[in-house]
Amino acid sequence: SRILFHALGHWRITPGFHDLLWNPAFTMAAYQLLGGPVRFWHDQIFYKPANDGGVVAWHQDYSYWTRTVPLNHLTCWIGLDDSTKENGCVHYVPGSHKWDLLPITGLAGDMDAIKEVLTEDQFEKLLNPIPVELEKGCASFHHGLTIHGSFENNSPRPRRAAVVNAFLDGTKSDQDEPMLAGTEPIPVGSPMGGTFYPMLKETAY
């Protein structure tokens, strides 16, 4: 019965979210982390209302992105409010970016769903996640295989976040159907690009 609002595509309708994609504070870090030109994948908005915000269950982002290959992806999570343990900040499992790709076990509702696909050693590491508390306007970056999630918002303050997902230029389509609703299909084996997947930073300077 907890509430979690999740939406994609704000960059196409809201100037502030559009311009965020080309903000040098994001693009320079993304270029350095990916080791080359940065291309946009998609954006997200997460909203957990005060006192009643739901969880974002443990997951790997790339488990939802296997229609693009190879894995050269990253996520930038940007706080629109101060993010604390009380209002449901993101938690990361250290070292999980080195794990194999896991099956999808759900994004909302059941924080413990992922346990059914973990080894004993992975489960032990899940018990000691690192909370990342951020002031609004600050950001964290993570690898496409990093296990992360966030707990309920039990505070009197909302917890809102914008997310920008990107990949290294040259990443290719692995399906003939549209990647996202309302976008043009990119044939299997073709590099991702075009109107919906623009270049964000092409050079190191």
- Domain assignment of residue 127, given as a range: 5-175+187-201
Residue 55 lies in a domain: yes
Residue 135 is encoded by which pair of tokens?
């002031």
Structural domain count, the chain: 1
Q: Would you say residue 79 lies in a domain? A: yes
User: Among candidates 51, 38, 44, which has minimal Cα distance to 6?
Assistant: 44
Whether residue 187 contacts residue 176, with contact meaning beta carbons closer than 8 Å, is answered with yes
Using one digit for the tens of pLDDT, what is the confidence trace for 1-51?
799 999 999 999 999 999 999 999 999 999 999 999 999 999 999 999 999
Does the residue 20 lie in any domain? Answer: yes
In a domain? residue 180: no
pLDDT score at 109: 87
The reply to whether 22 falls in a domain is: yes
What's the rounded mean pLDDT across residues 64-80?
99
User: The CATH number of the domain where 76 resides is what?
Assistant: 2.60.120.620
Q: What pLDDT shows up at residue 116?
A: 96
CB 42 within 8 A of CB 68: no
Alpha helices in 35-169 (DSSP H): 120-126
User: Is 182 within the bounds of a domain?
Assistant: no
Residue 181 lies in a domain: no
- Whether the pLDDT of residue 101 is over 90: the answer is yes
Q: What is the dihedral of CA 98, 73, 175, 18, to 10 degrees?
A: 150
In this predicted model, what pLDDT tens digit does every residue of 108-117 receive, in sequence order?
A: 989 999 999 9
